[in-house]
């Protein structure tokens, strides 16, 4: 048989349960208002849009750096081949 809830229904809660419920309610309310404040603050910040020109300049700079690194690697490879040849010459004498 189901229990009906009405004006005469009595609810038994311990002090510990009431305090825990209050603490949880205050915590959730605090988190809500903190998030609401951070969202409002974030909405006021200026947008950091990257313009097409700025994007193109960044891509060009990256491309130039890749080419420079490639030249440096070729120089290192050339030097390594010279050192390898000298080491071979010294070891064969």
Question: pLDDT tens-digit profile of 24-54?
Answer: 999 999 999 999 999 999 888 877 777 889 8
37 and 57: one domain?
no
Tell whether 59 and 91 lie within a shared domain.
yes
24 assigned to some structural domain: yes
Judge whether 3 lies within some domain.
no
**Sign of torsion over alpha carbons 68, 69, 74, 75:** positive
For residue 1, pLDDT beyond 60: no
Query: Which tokens in the block code for residue 68?
Result: 């420079």
In a domain, 41, yes or no: yes
Going by pLDDT thresholds of 50, 70 and 90, the confidence category of residue 11 is confident
Residue 33 lies in a domain: yes
Average pLDDT over residues 14-31: 95
The full length of the chain comes to 93
CA distances from 27 to 18, 34, 35, 37, 90 (A): 14, 11, 12, 15, 77
In this structure, the answer to whether residues 30 and 56 fall within a common structural domain is: no
pLDDT digit string (tens) for 55-93?
Answer: 899 999 999 999 999 999 999 999 999 999 999 888 887
Distance CA 20, CA 14 (A): 10
Number of domains in the chain: 2
Q: What residues make up the domain containing 31?
A: 13-45
Tell whether 55 and 84 lie within a shared domain: yes
Residues 65, 30, single domain; the answer is no
| pTM assigned to the model | 0.42
């Amino acid at each position: 048989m189901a229990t009906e809830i009405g004006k005469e229904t009595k609810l038994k809660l311990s002090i510990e349960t009431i305090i825990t419920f209050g603490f949880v309610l205050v915590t959730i309310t605090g988190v809500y208002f903190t998030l609401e404040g951070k969202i409002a603050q974030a909405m006021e910040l200026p947008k950091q849009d990257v313009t097409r020109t700025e994007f193109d300049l960044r891509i060009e700079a990256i491309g130039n750096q890749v080419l420079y690194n490639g030249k440096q690697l070729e120089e290192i490879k050339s030097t390594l081949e010279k050192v390898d040849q000298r080491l071979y010459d010294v070891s064969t004498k």
